[in-house]
Amino acid sequence: MPKFKIKHTTRYTYKGLVRDSANQVILFPINDEYQEVLKHDLKISGDPAVEIYKDYYGNEVGTFTHCEPHAELLIVSRVQVITTPRPLPTDDIFAIEQWLALEKLKHKIPYIDYLKQEHFYGLDELKTIVEQEDIEHETPFDTANRFNKYIWENFKYIPGITTVETRLEEIWQLKAGVCQDFAHILLVMLRLKNIPARYVSGYICPHRNGMRGEGATHAWVEAYIPNYGWLGLDPTNNCVANETHVRLAVGRNFPDCSPVKGVYKGAAEHKLEVSVTVSYGSEDEEKTSDTIEAIPIVKSTGTFPVNSFQQHLEMMQQQQQQ
């Protein structure tokens, strides 16, 4: 059972003094039979009180307000977690029975939200590919793995080619991007086959084996498999997400799982920096594959502060570090 120590640092630097910074953080790792959180410390500039609640998807969410004038907001999350390998599905039930079981979930909570798919230009083309490659007697488990491999083989991993506002149709046209983009396309493919699928935000913590997204915030997908439950699939690495993947949150898509988002009063120009470091069991083994990577300053174009409208931009930037 691997033991990981993870440090996730978020730093906002403002051009001038700001105040009333109201924020939401989803930096509390999921605690269940396959992931045990041993310790979690959250340090925030100004030491504001953090109110914690569980959202609709079962994630722990913290909210806080830093009221005093400040030129920097620093959020540091330190986690110690032990993960346990989850056995793969035995997949010994007839395929037709499994597909019928999924059909019965279409109108049941909580699967409804994980089956809805918004329309985008390219959806019909993707739907045609999904239907053309339909294999007789293939189980949902086999289909999910095949879709995972399809993205791995047909999409290029190119950091920076997509922006924080890149839409699904653009990702489909480019056939390239980073883990967040790959996860969103896999969600579409699974939902088109009536397989409930949810977005997962977290960290990938391999032992220096060069996996994409290593030592950074990461994104993957969980597909619901009948008589098994939620199966993690990482299309960025064409693998099952298991004991090397530490889960922070789940939701319909990234906005449901944003690690940090918020608004403030003051100067519109600011810089966001995010870093993640991972160590394996002891401090002397600390691996710092990701130093703080600066994101370009977001500048306003008018005389009025635009920070309230930058909320979506800021939360999407969190996941573009891998």
| Domain shared by 231 and 309, yes or no | no
Strand partners, 80: 5, 39
Q: Is residue 293 part of a domain?
A: yes
Provide the whole-model pTM: 0.85
Residue with tokens 């400040």: 70
Look at residue 166 and tell me if it is in a domain. Answer: yes
- Residue 158 domain-assigned? yes
Same domain for 314 and 247: no
Same-domain check for residues 180 and 40? no
Report which of residues 228 and 162 the model is more confident about: 228
Residue pair 151/132 in contact by the 8 Å Cβ criterion: no
- Look at 318 and 141; give whichever has higher pLDDT: 141
Answer with the residue of higher pLDDT: 41 or 300: 41
- What is the tens place of the pLDDT at every residue in 211-223? 776 656 899 999 9
| 310-319 per-position pLDDT tens digit | 344 444 444 4
pLDDT for position 305 = 35
Same domain flag for 303 and 179: no
- Residue 250 lies in domain: 95-255
Give residue 156's pLDDT: 95
The pLDDT of residue 291 is above 90: no
Asked if pLDDT for residue 225 goes beyond 80, the answer is yes
* In a domain? residue 90: no
Considering the domain architecture, whether residues 105 and 30 belong to the same structural domain is answered as no
Confirm whether 20 is domain-assigned: yes
23 and 130: one domain?
no
Burial (Cβ within 10 Å: 0-12, 13-18, ≥19) of residue 33: exposed
Do 51 and 25 reside in the same domain of the chain? yes
Indicate which CATH number applies to the domain containing 300: 2.60.40.2250
* Lowest mean pLDDT across 24-38, 40-54, 289-303: 289-303
The length of the chain, given as a count of residues? 322
Q: Does residue 286 carry a pLDDT above 70? A: no
Q: Are residues 223 and 310 in the same domain?
A: no
- Least confident segment among 65-69, 175-179, 193-197, 268-272: 268-272
Q: Choose one of 204, 222, 255: the last residue of a domain.
A: 255
Q: Which of 231, 255, 279 finishes a domain?
A: 255
Q: How many domains does the chain have?
A: 2
Q: What is the pLDDT of residues 1-24, one digit of tens each?
A: 889 999 999 999 999 999 999 999
Asked if pLDDT for residue 39 goes beyond 70, the answer is yes
Q: What CATH number did the domain enclosing 192 receive?
A: 3.10.620.30
Q: Are 6 and 246 in contact (CB under 8 A)?
A: yes
Q: What is the pLDDT of residues 239-258, one digit of tens each?
A: 999 999 999 999 999 999 99
In a domain, 89, yes or no: no
At 68, phi and psi to the nearest 5?
A: -70, 150
9 part of a folded domain: yes
Q: Within this chain, do residues 164 and 228 fall inside the same structural domain, yes or no? A: yes
Residue 128 placed within a domain: yes
- Same structural domain, 226 and 112: yes
